[in-house]
Structure 1
Amino acid sequence: MKLLSLLLLTLFLGKGCENKAKQNIETAQITYTANTRGYYQEISIEKQIVSIKTDRKEEAVQIKIYDDDWKELVEIFQEVDLEEIKDLKSPTEKRFYDGAAIANLKINYEGKSYESQSFDHGFPPYEIKKIVTKINSFAKQNDEN
């Protein structure tokens, strides 16, 4: 009887410790925007394609994401707590006096939209810093080409 109880307890505890289902970036659309009166940047990622707009009126430039960068982005995306995004606080407030562009991260995933509060471009909340930095790296790569 003790053995059976121990076995059942182990099973229940093991189920509780399992990781939640991993988020599949293949079904997500990620959009990062940063803007001020004289600056505009929109970076959208969907299905291993990044679209970059640096002007509100112009068409986006589309670039395929290299496999190594894609794998890294997949890993980072799986670490993001989507439900938490809306409650994250900006670590700085430079956007209030034109010290930084106003930035925003929006993720559409499985029919739901997860959107951050505004934060300073270049100074994202700690919890989404990795994904914001990775997203912005695609725009920097585009500028270099």
Structure 2
Amino acid sequence: MKLLSLLFLTIFLSKGCDGDAQKKLEAAQLIYTANSRGFHQEIVIENHIAIIKKDRKEKTIQTKISDADWKELITLFKKVDLEEIKNLKSPTEKRFYDGAAIANLKINYKGRNYESQSFDHGFPPVEIKKIVTKINSFAKQNNEN
């Protein structure tokens, strides 16, 4: 009985710690880039700040991320499988004939880099679509201001 209790406790604690420690957005840097011949956009998300660059020559714009948006980002970030991000397939191939800018999502998390394969700007893989859309919303919000 003691062995069974010890085994159960070990499994329970290891799973509980994994979930909490595994994905904390504060320990991450998200970098979204999109490029084509006439378009460049880079959005860096780090510790409640969005750093946006809309042109290769333009200066960066820094904006604070609201608490509501930050909470939504945390929820979306927890759903991303970092180990699988490199294997995600793009649903479209417009970037091959200049139909869309070439986009990429890179996540630096706890000293490791996780990078997606290239995909069409505006058409990310389904598994990361929500977080990519949220990241891009910061650049769109900045256009309106």
In structure 1, list runs of 5 or more residues that go unmatched.
none
Deviations 1:78-136 (A, max 9, x none): 11111111111101000001111100000000000000000000100011111101000
Residue 28 of structure 1 is matched in structure 2 by: 28
Counterpart residue identity of residue 29, structure 2: Q
CA RMSD of aligned residues (A): 2.1
- Aligned residue number for residue 67 of structure 1: 67
Unpaired segments of 5 or more residues in structure 2? none
Q: Runs of 4+ in structure 1 displaced over 2 angstroms?
A: 4-10, 12-22
Q: Helix, strand or coil for the counterpart of 2:73?
A: helix
In 1, the alpha carbon distance for the partners of 2:41 and 2:78 equals 25
For the pair shown, the structure with the greater C-alpha radius of gyration is 1
Number of residue pairs aligned between Structure 1 and Structure 2: 142
Match of 2:52 in 1: 52
Distance 1:98 1:135 in 2: 23
TM-score for the superposition, normalised by structure 1: 0.89
- Partner Cα separation in structure 1 for residue 68 and residue 35 of structure 2: 29
Per the TM alignment, residue 15 of structure 1 is displaced from its structure 2 partner at its CA by 2.8
TM superposition shift of 1:14: 6.0
CA distance in 1, matches of 2:13, 2:127: 24
The one-letter code of the counterpart of 1:49 is: I
AA in 2 matched with 1:21? G
Matched residues, percent identical?
66
Q: 1:96 aligned to 2:93?
A: no
Q: CA deviation at 1:5?
A: 8.2
Going from structure 1 to structure 2, the CA distance change for 1:7 and 1:110 (only over 3 Å counts) comes to: same
Instruction: Name the residue aligned to 1:85.
Output: 85
